[in-house]
Amino acid sequence: MALLPENLLATEQRFGPHPAYSTGARLETGIEPDKLVKTHCCFCGQQCGIQLKVKDNEVIGFEPWEDFPFNRGMLCPKGVKRYLQGGHPDRLLHAYQRDPAAAGGFCEMAYDEAIERVATEIQRIQTAYGNDAFGVLTGASLTTEKAYLMGKFARMCLKTANIDYNGRLCMVSAAAANKKAFGIDRAANPWSDILKAEVIWISGANVAECAPITTNYVWQAREYGAKIIVVDPRITPIARTCDLFLPIKPGRDIALFNGILHLMIENDWLDHDFISRHAVGFEAVAAHVRDWNPKKTAEVTGISERAIRQAAEWWGQSKSSFLLHARGIEHHSHGVQNCLGAINMVLASGRIGREGCGYATITGQANGQGGREHGQKCDQLPGARDISNPEHRAYVAGVWGITPEELPQAGVDAYEMFRRIDRGEIRGLLSICFNPKVSLPDNNFITRCLEKLDFYVAIDFFLNETAQHADVVLPGSLHEEDEGVVTQIEGRVIKINKAVDPPGDAKQDWRVIQDIAKALGRERGFTFSSPREIFDELRIASKGGIADYSGITYEKIEKQYGVFWPCPSEDHPGTPRLFEPGSWNPIAKGTGPYYFPDGRARFNVAPYTPPAEDVDDEYPLMLTTGRVVSQYLSGTQTRRIGPLVDQYPEPLIEMHPQLAGKLAIANGDLVTVESRRGVITLPAMVVTTIRPDTVFVPYHWPGKKSINQLTISAQDPISKIPEYKVCAVRVRKEK
Ligand SMILES: Nc1nc2c(c(=O)[nH]1)N[C@H]1C(S)=C(S)[C@@H](COP(=O)(O)OP(=O)(O)OC[C@H]3O[C@@H](n4cnc5c(=O)[nH]c(N)nc54)[C@H](O)[C@@H]3O)O[C@H]1N2
Ligand SMILES: Nc1nc2c(c(=O)[nH]1)N[C@H]1C(S)=C(S)[C@@H](COP(=O)(O)OP(=O)(O)OC[C@H]3O[C@@H](n4cnc5c(=O)[nH]c(N)nc54)[C@H](O)[C@@H]3O)O[C@H]1N2
Ligand code: SF4
Ligand SMILES: [Mo]
């Protein structure tokens, strides 16, 4: 047995120096590297360029990569410390199987034997309960090659409909709204357009902590005179430097967007030419927002009428603008409607698809964009194709050498998979790059489901909290141990380059998947010998789809510092800005720039509905959740990096002094927060930067420190995103 169980226990303890945190000691050695590898950060969707220093097959540090145009060498605290994961003692070096008798509950297993066992269990479960009884959960931190392979593996090798990914918790509301309004799901503009905007509107995005490099774009625009408007229940770091802050009540953003559009119409701050020539549906939306006068908008949103009028005036009268949003408006049971409300405001202004006139959702995970395009979503096929469309099915089946009938239909979303596990309909699970025990809402339910599985196999480089329920754990690859492409926040396809080989028995993820296919006797279609071969097939599979990568090559990415999709042929330069006149569009075919047969964008009526669980006498406060700058997602990676742990060692409950005063709570006191689903006790952080009716807790910690014990599993009916951003709670001081 390796170091595994002791270290896992150790990483749960935050106090004092302990061996399981990487401390960065190796960096101080001043060793000359053997080579520098130009690649990108493994964490957020900005995908900053970075050069890794490599010595003796180990990443020992980094150098800035100043030529890469997006970040020009800048990095945030996570990027600076990312290299510390590789040498961590918890790195999985072998396969493991569950063994209640072993310390830590697992014992080492030969890799080949583990693969055989996985194949046997898959066959056993599918023979007894049907193909769909085996589910697959994947992630948007995977390269696009791997995301593509996972979609193909689930449908062609396992023949199951049930594959979905962790972007279901992240990008899907914006994706669904973008498809409804524009027919395409990608940032409309490159970030360089932010610099040319007169007004920058930021809704529900903690830019400085979660998209740190974007802060630089926003601040540079401010230097040139731009006005910054921020909408958030908390005065986040970007809000501290904005020109107008709108302290919205969680869950009320549609009301604000409708209220702003109301004032735009009343004051005739509209682009009539754009509305009549490039869009449809304005009249219905205009009729709908007639009611949303400033008084009503102020009552619902909790923002003053004066601030609403000021925001409308700046937005309405500007000549150029950029609207950005993130999970703050998307993590809602009406997340799609929220995004449609934002888009209506953009379309009415006509400021999109031009220099300095932009709109985008800020993508989340490393490959939040590319990971949602090529078929790891439950209803999608490569090229952002639709699994229920017969033409799309026929095309992809043709590329894979199967008949369309052999392709399963749409499966269910990630949360629904757990409900099916609970009901005994799904009996087996393979997960890669996902930690649902920490990251899904109402996660005590998720833990109970994991214990019900007949068989569960996890592929990861660390034993995350979900994988601790696995029967078999397979050692996959760390970011720097493989190559492939990802698509960053702007829609720019970039290349991750391999710096080191996987250690021990660890294998590149795509090899692990192909080994399982082989052990199942279904090797056909899974004999790739490199990520480049997978990418070349992906290019063909995406050809003619909306997310067309067919003209992108590894060489072109290197030459151009990335290629913006769509890129339909090798002589096409790529598409940094969408919706420009004459740009390639396989749907509109010259009728207009939007991805519909008539070439026009769509206004969508976005009715206001309150959150799934509103406050009442019993649970009188709103809980909202999110992130801090030094921690990343479920924390599997960043909770193992000492300097990042030091910055924010454990979750705190942010509350306003008014609320704290009422409950006799002082900064640092232990406070219990309770919802209808769970309870948590954490130290208070009393700050004036949050609404007095709202508390905020970051979600990067497991077990008793996991705020997802309290969150609600209500989902948006269209996108199926969970409502992480608002539920009702009560708060009391611990005696
Ligand atoms: N440091 C760090 N950076 C990250 C990540 C990380 O874990 N850590 N994760 C990456 C990923 S996957 C993602 S998805 C992004 C997320 O990036 P963001 O969406 O920017 O981050 P969040 O903290 O989830 O939420 C953003 C803001 O929404 C606000 N908010 C809450 N409720 C509402 C509401 O009802 N309306 C409005 N308008 N605002 C509301 C919160 O106060 C918060 O400031 O970050 C990426 N970058
Ligand atoms: N309360 C609350 N909950 C939330 C959110 C919130 O705002 N509030 N945000 C949601 C959002 S936006 C997101 S994106 C999710 C994220 O939630 P998860 O996807 O569950 O979080 P991760 O920490 O990314 O878990 C990914 C796992 O993949 C592994 N991994 C990373 N890269 C690779 C790789 O290349 N190969 C392999 N084999 N493994 C890899 C990591 O080690 C980790 O164990 O959380 C969601 N949960
Ligand atoms: S901003 Fe994102 S991509 Fe850039 S260094 Fe930080 S975590 Fe990495
Ligand atoms: Mo995310």
pLDDT category of residue 17 using cuts at 50, 70 and 90: very low
Whether CATH 3.40.50.970 fits 621-733: no
**The ligand 3 atom nearest the CA atom of 76:** 6
Question: In this structure, are residues 66 and 48 in contact, taking their beta carbons and an 8 Å threshold?
Answer: no
What is the spatial distance between Cα 101 and Cα 165, in angstroms, rounded to a whole number?
Answer: 33
Does 85 have pLDDT greater than 90? Answer: no
Q: Which ligand is nearest to the CA of 724?
A: 2
Does 25 have pLDDT greater than 50? Answer: no
pLDDT at 86: 80
**The ligand 3 atom nearest the CA atom of 42:** 8
Say whether the peptide bond before residue 722 is cis (omega within 30 degrees of 0): no
Q: Whole-number mean pLDDT of the chain?
A: 95
Q: Pocket of ligand 1, candidates 169, 210, 325: which has the most ligand atoms within 8 Å of its Cβ, to mutate?
A: 210
The CB density around residue 74, as the number of other CB atoms within 10 Å, is 17
Does 20 have pLDDT greater than 90? Answer: no
Delimit the domains of the chain by residue range. Answer: 6-85, 95-169+380-481+506-529, 172-362, 621-733
Does 108 have pLDDT greater than 90? Answer: yes
Fold for the domain defined by 172-362: Dimethylsulfoxide Reductase; domain 2 (3.40.228)
Residues 223-235 pLDDT 10s: 999 999 999 999 9
Does 121 have pLDDT greater than 60? Answer: yes
| pLDDT over 90 percentage in the chain | 92
Cβ density class 247-258: b for 16+ within 10 Å, e for less: bbbbbbbbbbbb
Question: In this structure, are residues 502 and 478 in contact, taking their beta carbons and an 8 Å threshold?
Answer: yes
pLDDT at 21: 47
Helix or strand run (H / E) with residue 560 = helix 554-560
What is the spatial distance between Cα 90 and Cα 53, in angstroms, rounded to a whole number?
Answer: 22
Alpha-carbon distance values, 622 to 232, 312, 665, 674 (Å)? 14, 27, 17, 11
Fold for the domain defined by 6-85: N-terminal domain of TfIIb (2.20.25)
Residues 572-593 pLDDT 10s: 999 999 999 888 999 998 899 9
| pLDDT over 70 percentage in the chain | 96
pLDDT category of residue 103 using cuts at 50, 70 and 90: confident
Q: Which residues surround ligand 4, an ion (CB under 5 A)?
A: 170, 364
Range 60-73 average pLDDT: 94
Does 220 have pLDDT greater than 50? Answer: yes
Range 151-178 average pLDDT: 98
Find, among 432, 640, 462, 463, the residue nearest to 105 by Cα.
463
567 pocket-lining for ligand 1 (C-beta < 6 Å): no
What is the pTM assigned to this prediction? 0.96
Q: Which ligand is nearest to the CA of 365?
A: 1
Residues 530-540 pLDDT 10s: 999 999 999 99
Range 475-494 average pLDDT: 98
695 pocket-lining for ligand 1 (C-beta < 6 Å): no
Range 149-162 average pLDDT: 98
pLDDT at 464: 97
What is the spatial distance between Cα 125 and Cα 602, in angstroms, rounded to a whole number?
Answer: 45
Token pair 């120096």: residue: 17
pLDDT at 280: 98
Token pair 């985008």: residue: 360
Question: What distance in angstroms lies between residue 634's CA and the mean position of ligand 2's atoms?
Answer: 5
Does 544 have pLDDT greater than 60? Answer: yes
In SS3 terms, 346-379 reads as HHHHCCCCECCEEEEECCCECCCCHHHCCCCCCC
Residues 316-371 pLDDT 10s: 999 999 999 999 999 999 999 999 999 999 999 999 999 999 999 999 999 999 99
What is the spatial distance between Cα 44 and Cα 601, in angstroms, rounded to a whole number?
Answer: 30
pLDDT at 190: 98
What is the spatial distance between Cα 387 and Cα 396, in angstroms, rounded to a whole number?
Answer: 9
What six digits make up the tokens of 448? 């109970």
Task: Give the residue, by CA position, lying nearest to ligand 2 atom 7.
Answer: 626
pLDDT at 5: 32
Residue 639: CA atoms inside 13 Å, Cβ hemisphere, count?
A: 27
- Which ranges in 203-334 belong to alpha helices (H)? 207-210, 212-223, 253-266, 272-278, 282-289, 294-301, 305-317, 327-330
**The ligand 1 atom nearest the CA atom of 78:** 1
- Starting from the edge strand earliest in sequence, which strands make up the sheet with 227-231, in order? 244-246, 227-231, 199-203, 321-325, 357-361
DSSP secondary structure letters along 6-33? HHHHHHH--SS--TTSB-SGGGGG-PPP
Task: Give the residue, by CA position, lying nearest to ligand 3 atom 6.
Answer: 76
Question: What distance in angstroms lies between residue 140's CA and the mean position of ligand 2's atoms?
Answer: 8
81 pocket-lining for ligand 1 (C-beta < 6 Å): no
Number of H helices, E strands in the chain: 23, 28
Question: In this structure, are residues 75 and 211 in contact, taking their beta carbons and an 8 Å threshold?
Answer: no
44 DSSP β-pair partners: 365
pLDDT category of residue 29 using cuts at 50, 70 and 90: low
pLDDT category of residue 6 using cuts at 50, 70 and 90: very low
Q: DSSP 3-state helix, strand, coil percentages of the chain (rounded to 5)?
A: 35, 20, 45
pLDDT at 15: 29
- The CATH code of the domain at 95-169+380-481+506-529 is 3.40.50.740
Find, among 281, 229, 232, the residue nearest to 253 by Cα.
232
